[in-house]
Amino acid sequence: MKEIRDLDLNLLKLLQVVVETRNTHAAAERLGISQTSVSRGITKLKEAFGDQLFIRKAHGVEPSELALKLAEATDEMYRPLSKVIESYQGFNPKEFGGEITVCMHIYFLELYGAGIFEALKRALPKASFNLSVWQPNSLTDMLNGKIDYLIHFDGFKFPQDIYLNTLIDIDICLVARKAHPVLSHSSNLEDIHHLPLARIAVDGINTKRTPIETYYQSRGYQAHYTLVTHSVRVLLALLKQSDAVLYGSRFMKELSDDVATYPLPQLPNEMRKVQVNGGYLQTKRDYPLNQLIHETIRRYFDDVILPE
């Protein structure tokens, strides 16, 4: 038997029609080809699967059990292909009723999750949504097709199987309590280097020394982190009740009236912004659903108005 991957798929379609019609003439008419072409196709099928694939009868051909099974398998093979084509031709966002899973770092979920959900719900009103936190097993789930879309920091390394696009560049500022006793007067590093720091933990990016620590050290200072956490809420609780400082986004002000933003010290340009990426599987780059999710989330970030 020949390697199945080398078999012309048109032959399987021919086999399916011959099994259904039990007649080479009728099969030729249905396929729009000559009876000679059907006979040649049957010969090739017999070469691939054996001479007993079809048995000639007085008024046609009799398919063997193998031919019947192959016809059934061919139908199962074409069904998912047809489903994909239908999804391209007939995709209607307003009628789509499936579940959509968007996975993101908890920082984005807490800051932007509600807005992202509202934007997606407007675009896909009948869909159900799972907005989840990126975890160690999330990459495996993504590659297995269990996650439709991801949102993560630019520094996180993804394999080439995932198609990434920039969603937004977030300007970094200092975030601390209102009327901060030091930052209200100066943001110069020589004046603020002694202040305790807090930061968001981003697994796979800043689990070791952070760029801020490296920069402080290059200027002769020691950065002291009093809190490292995945939770924005925990960060806010600390900032509101202490002199701790966060290098973060102005959007933090939207979550609490008790914090304010202050200018950065003289940091290198590459440390003054954070790039946020969105992505999905390369194999789904042309899928209307994934394209719609990406465009909807991208437009949401385009419309995000950060507090002054």
| Distance in angstroms (rounded) separating the CA atoms of residues 94 and 86 | 16
83-142: pLDDT as tens digits: 566 556 668 899 888 899 999 988 889 888 999 999 999 999 999 999 999 988 999 999
pLDDT-based confidence at 206, cuts 50/70/90?
A: low
Average pLDDT over residues 216-243: 93
Give the contacts of 120 (CB within 8 A, at least 6 positions apart): 100, 102, 127, 129, 293, 296, 297
Compute the mean pLDDT over every residue in the chain, rounded to the nearest whole number: 88
Q: Which residues pair with 273 in a beta bridge?
A: 171
Of the chain, the end-to-end C-alpha distance in Å amounts to 72
| pLDDT at position 88 | 60
Mean of the pLDDT values across residues 180-194? 96
Query: What's the CA gap between 188 and 173, in Å, rounded?
Result: 13
Q: What is the pLDDT of residue 307?
A: 54
Q: Identify the weakest region by mean pLDDT among 75-84, 102-111, 147-156, 238-247.
A: 75-84
Could you give the domains of the chain?
Answer: 4-90 (1.10.10.10), 99-167+276-303 (3.40.190.10), 169-274 (3.40.190.10)
pLDDT of 230 reads 87
Q: Is 11 exposed, middle or buried (0-12, 13-18, 19+ CB in 10 A)?
A: middle
Q: Specify whether the CB–CB gap between 81 and 48 falls below 8 A.
A: no
pTM: 0.65
Rounded to 5°, the CA angle 275-280-286 comes to: 125
Supply the pLDDT for residue 211.
87
Are 289 and 87 within 8 A, CB to CB?
Answer: yes
Q: How far apart are CA 259 and CA 238, in angstroms?
A: 10
Strand ranges inside 29-154, DSSP E: 54-57, 60-63, 99-104, 128-133, 149-153
- pLDDT of 159 higher than 80: yes
Q: pLDDT tens digit string along 34-90?
A: 989 998 999 988 888 888 888 888 788 899 999 899 888 887 777 666 656 655 666
What does the pLDDT look like over 297-307, one tens digit per residue? Answer: 999 998 876 55
**How far apart are alpha carbons 114 and 121 in whole angstroms?**
11
- Contact 23/59 with Cβ under 8 angstroms? yes
- Torsion angle in degrees (nearest 10) through CA of 305, 205, 166, 299: -40
Give the Cα separation of 63 and 54 in Å (integer). Answer: 5
CA distance 11 to 47: 12
